[in-house]
Structures are given as C-alpha cells and as structure tokens.
Amino acid sequence: MGASPFLDRLAEGPLLCDGAMGTMLYARGVPLDACFDVLNENNPSLVQSIHAEYLSAGADLIETNTFGANRFKLAVHGLDARVREINRKGAKLARDVRESMGREAFVLGSIGPLGKYLAPLGAISATEGRAAFREQAEGLLEGGVDAFIVETFSDLEEIRLAVEAVRSITDLPIIAQVAFTEEGVTFTGRTAVEVARALRQLPVQVIGANCSVGSSVLYDILEQMLPEAGALPISIQPNAGLPSRLGERLIYLSSPTYMAEYAAKMLEAGARIVGGCCGTTPDHIRAMRAAVDRHVPKAVRARRVSVAPPAREEAPALRVTVAPTLLARRLEAREFVVTVELDPPRGHNIEKLVQGAKLLKERGVEIVDINDGSLGRVRMSVLPTAILVREATGLDINMHFTCRDRNLMGIQADLLGAHAVGIRNILAIKGDPPRAGDYVNTTAIFDVNAIGLVRIIRGMNEGRDATGNSIGEPTSFSVGVGLNPVAEDPDREIQRLLRKVEAGARWAQTQPVYDLEAFDRFLTRAGKLPVPVIVGILPLHSYRHAEFLHNEVPGIRIPEEARARMREAGARALHVGIDMAQGLLREVRRRYGGAYLMPSFGRFEVVAEVLDALR
C-alpha cells in the first residue's frame, strides 16, 4: 500500500470520528421513510451543514452521507440508476466542507449493508453483491474520499464482499466495522472473538464495531476484540443509549457526558478511533473531543484549527405566543395560590370526581391538581382525567407527572400530548414505588429522576427533545416540583430542590405539613428560596386517621400535640380536624406562596369547609 496521510495521522494518536447523519437529517425535518442519500443531490447545503457542525465540534473524521447508497437500497426509491453520482456527490460535499473550514480532517466513504440477504438465505449472489459494492465504491473514489468505512454489517460473508470490492479498485485504507446485539454477538450469532479473527484475515487497516448497541456493550466488545486484533487498530462507534428503531438502524439516547466518559475508557483500553453512531449529535462529539485530546500529542492537537461552521440559512422558527396559565400568572405576580388535589377514579367513571370539582369551583377554587398513580395504586391515567375535569368545569389544571411508569420515550410522548391538548402546568415528581401499593411485583422504570424530568421539560420549552433533536415549535410548560419537609436527610432534600430549580422548576409543592415552625426551620437550610412554595394541607378526619398518616404513610409527620387533640376530640374529631386545617391555611397565606389542599376519602365538602378560612 502506498503512503496514506490517514494512516500516518492514526499512527500519531487516536482519532475522533463524527456522529449520526440520519439522526441529524431527521431532526432537520427529513421524513424517516425518505431517501437520505439522495439529499447529496437534492439538498446539498443541508448535508454540508451537518458535516460542518461535526467538524466544528472537533471531529477528525467525517463520513459521507452514503450509508445506504447501493443499487438495492436506492431501488426502493427508484434511484438505482444513480448510484455513482449520488456517491460521488456525497464524497465531494464532505471534501468541500473540510477545505472551506481549513481543517486537518479526513473524509471516509461510508458503505453499509445491501439491505437484502445473500444466497442461500436470500436471492443476491456473491457476484451481484460484490458488483453492487464496487459500483458504490467507484463513485466514492471519484468523489475523492481519503479512506473507506464499511460499517454496521452483521454477516461476515457480506462484509468480506464489500472489502473485496473496495480493494479491487484502490489501495486506500479500509475500516471494517460490525454490529453486535446486546448479548454481545452479531445478528448471525458470531462472537466478538470470531469477528476479530475473521476481519484480521481481510485486506483492511482498521477493524471495529459500531451501531445497534450503546457504549457499555461496545466497551465489552472492544475488550474481547483487542487480544485478537494483532497490530490492527480498533475503531468503536456506539449508539447513544436506549433504542428506538430507525429503518434498519436504531436510535439510542445517552447524554454527551456519558458517551465522553466511555470514550475515555475505550481509549485507555486500547481503541484508536472513537466516535458515535445513531442518536449521537455534535454535542456528543464535542464532549468526546476532550477525552480524545488527553491521548493526542500536543503537537498534533496544535494542527487542528477550530473554525466555526458556515452559517446555515434557515427560515426563522415559528413561535406562537402562548399566554401563561392561570397558575403561572399567579405565581409570577406573587399572589396567593390555592389548589386542590383530585385523585383519578379507581374505575372508568369520572362523574363523582367532576361533581366534586364543580363543588370546589363554587367555593372559589380556580386550580386543581390531578394526581398521578399516588401510593402505587392503579387508577385512571392522569392525562385523560385532567382533560375530562377541565372540559367539565373549566378549571385550570396542574397535572402531576411521575417518572415511574414511563420510559424516556413515553415520558416525552405523553408530555407532547399533554401540551397539544392544553395541559401546561406540570408537577414533576419521581412517583411512589409500586411496592407501596397493590402491585408489589410490578416493575418501576425510572429512566430519569425528578431532576431529569425537569430538564426534559425545560428542553421541550426550548424546542428540543432529550437527545437535542428539534420538536418544532417549543412547548410552554410551567413546571413545579415536590418537596418533602420531613426527609430523613434534610440537607440532601434542600440540595435536590436547588438542583431542580436550577434545572428549570418554577415552584415547589410540599407533602402535608402539620407543623409550620418545623417547616420554617427546614427551609432556613436553603436560605432565601428562589421560587415560591405551595404548602400541602390535608385535613384530619379522626384520631385513627391521624395515627395512620403519622405511622404508616411516608413523608408525613403529625406533631404529638395535634394527635392528642384528635384523640381528645372523640366524636367531634372531624370538626377539630377542619379547625386545625383552617388555622394552618390562614398561617400559610401569611407566610408562603400558596396552599395545596388534599381531600381524604374523596370528601370534597371537607376541603370546601376548610376554604371558608380565606373569606
């Protein structure tokens, strides 16, 4: 093989590859079922803008937008006669961006699987497969790539044909990468050791793995391949987290920090090229740059010039001005807020809840909280309950939203649905574990905690999802968070509150409080709170009720004095409980931003009577 600047540079230190092309195109509005490869001709500026973002983020290698540009995949879109020109244009676009930015970077000609099975399983012969790969490689070579990357293969016979096709027309370096499952084998059942041994026999310069799984699995794959790779460098390009299918690829969700941490581990273990595949963005690559730089000689780093990507002309995002919710307006104006909790029904009949809400509205209530799976018990889901109550009463809704029952995709889907139907006040809480309720063996999800949930909502308010992809028009949620005044570790609870506020929370809402002096002492740990606090008030119905709450319900403590009053009240216990709640409500109005009343046993008339204290 002749001299190769790419291999010379690889010998000097590790290289950082770019991230996903398809993910970025989809984020820019390209439909999932569209042909991404033909954009090289139909929308070249869009493709170039993505290359430029990756170069600006610090990538040393950029892959051409040609992963699926073979005759079989293009035939689905009626484009099989344009293989050479689509590949040639893809290579030229990447080269032109690199030269315009003055970067020392290399263009890799991307070649993916054919999309059809080889014989005898499928109808594609080895001769036909080799010809298809050669046709694609010729176009990339004419466009001026520096090296080739044959990637995301599962069939070792198919990747052998791809490598042979490339090698038949050029001696440029080839990176050969295989995709693995979460079980650590290819989709055809080959282990990492078998793959490494097979790839070593091919005329390639780098072997490795990419796509289909995230960083942790590919780190294990790397460790297994290293002893079998011999002198060949290894390239590792994981997806970003948990999967959502995109054609034959998978989109995953992991933070830039997480991927950067694994990139550092991979380099320390012996990888020579790291980067990202589906789901990764320039933010991920930018975070990984720092990890790579720790392994690159200073003289080499000095040659890399950071240049901002060329400005991309875009139509200004359409942002419809949405008026703040009633709750948000009251909080912003520092007016005292009163909200009452409504538990969704255990069945599908909403009538009792609606009648209770109407009674509260007659007593002056304007905002109600709709609970979400309190105490880990099955009830009607929170969103339809919120919609039905609002439609029947016109009340402003504060919808509780837990992390327990939804994965990361479900969280975002439900939030977008809530916003679409006008539910915009969200109380972001972790949720009671299932073991607290009737379904002790049910699995909780908890992909994120309450802090992560607030960050997701803040991102949506800024127009992006959890991976940084655009959601179009930004949302306009107002976000509150829970606060436990009797937490076992009060300092940790305060620190978590401050982190929630930093993440985007607009107010805090407590569990039931029965001792305001103790609550005051708890809050002094935080100094002056940057957000208003809505204090929970739950009227006591009897001495037994008070003892149950104090001794059996997490997060509630009732002072001995209050329990003694309930014990001494006897048959008048409910009246005493209402009187105590009214006294708390008057004090809360004097000292805090709002009150959050909770009816026990569905007795809305009790809460209505407590509200008389505000007259």
For residues 86 and 47, the answer to whether their CB atoms sit within 8 Å is: no
pLDDT > 50? residue 248: no
User: Tokens in use for 198?
Assistant: 């097979």
pLDDT > 50? residue 223: yes
The pTM score is 0.53
Q: Please state which CATH class domain 335-438+480-614 belongs to.
A: alpha beta
Q: What is the pLDDT of residue 121?
A: 81
pLDDT tier at 309, thresholds 50, 70, 90? very low
For residues 507 and 484, the answer to whether their CB atoms sit within 8 Å is: no
Among 65-69, 98-102, 249-253, 379-383, name the one with the lowest average pLDDT. 249-253
Query: Rounded to whole angstroms, what are the CA distances from 232 to 12, 160, 170, 199, 300?
Result: 14, 17, 19, 10, 21
Task: Give per-residue pLDDT as tens, 414-434.
Answer: 999 999 999 999 999 987 665
* C-alpha triplet 576, 577, 580: angle, nearest 5°: 85
If one compares 29 and 425, the residue with the highest pLDDT of the two is 425
Q: What is the pLDDT of residue 438?
A: 46
pLDDT > 70? residue 74: yes
For residues 605 and 358, the answer to whether their CB atoms sit within 8 Å is: no
pLDDT tier at 206, thresholds 50, 70, 90? very high
pLDDT > 80? residue 607: yes
Residues of the chain with pLDDT > 90: what percent? 69
Q: Cα(614)–Cα(590) distance, rounded to whole angstroms?
A: 11
Q: Cα(415)–Cα(103) distance, rounded to whole angstroms?
A: 41
What one-letter code names the amino acid at 109?
Answer: G
For residues 276 and 237, the answer to whether their CB atoms sit within 8 Å is: yes
pLDDT > 50? residue 437: no
Q: Is 591 helix (H, G, I), strand (E, B) or coil?
A: helix
pLDDT > 50? residue 306: no
- Per domain, the residue ranges of the chain are 14-299, 335-438+480-614
If one compares 196 and 33, the residue with the highest pLDDT of the two is 196
For the chain, how big is the Rg over CA atoms in Å?
Answer: 30
If one compares 38 and 488, the residue with the highest pLDDT of the two is 38
pLDDT > 60? residue 305: no
Q: Cα(279)–Cα(211) distance, rounded to whole angstroms?
A: 10
Query: Rounded to whole angstroms, what are the CA distances from 316 to 290, 319, 473?
Result: 32, 9, 11
Q: What is the pLDDT of residue 287?
A: 94
pLDDT tier at 77, thresholds 50, 70, 90? very high
Tell me the DSSP string of 542-595.
-HHHHHHHHHHSTT----HHHHHHHHHHGGGHHHHHHHHHHHHHHHHHHHSSEE
User: Tokens in use for 234?
Assistant: 């290894």
pLDDT tier at 250, thresholds 50, 70, 90? very low
Highest mean pLDDT among 28-32, 69-73, 451-455, 488-492: 69-73
CATH of 14-299, one of 3.20.20.330, 3.30.390.10, 3.30.1300.10, 3.10.28.10: 3.20.20.330
Task: Give per-residue pLDDT as tens, 512-547.
Answer: 999 999 999 999 988 888 899 999 999 999 999 999
pLDDT > 70? residue 311: no
pLDDT > 70? residue 197: yes
Q: Cα(133)–Cα(143) distance, rounded to whole angstroms?
A: 16
pLDDT > 80? residue 253: no
Mean pLDDT of 3-11: 91
Hey, do 14-299 and 335-438+480-614 end up sharing a CATH topology, with the first three levels equal? yes
Q: What is the pLDDT of residue 28?
A: 86
Q: Is 569 helix (H, G, I), strand (E, B) or coil?
A: helix
If one compares 199 and 443, the residue with the highest pLDDT of the two is 199
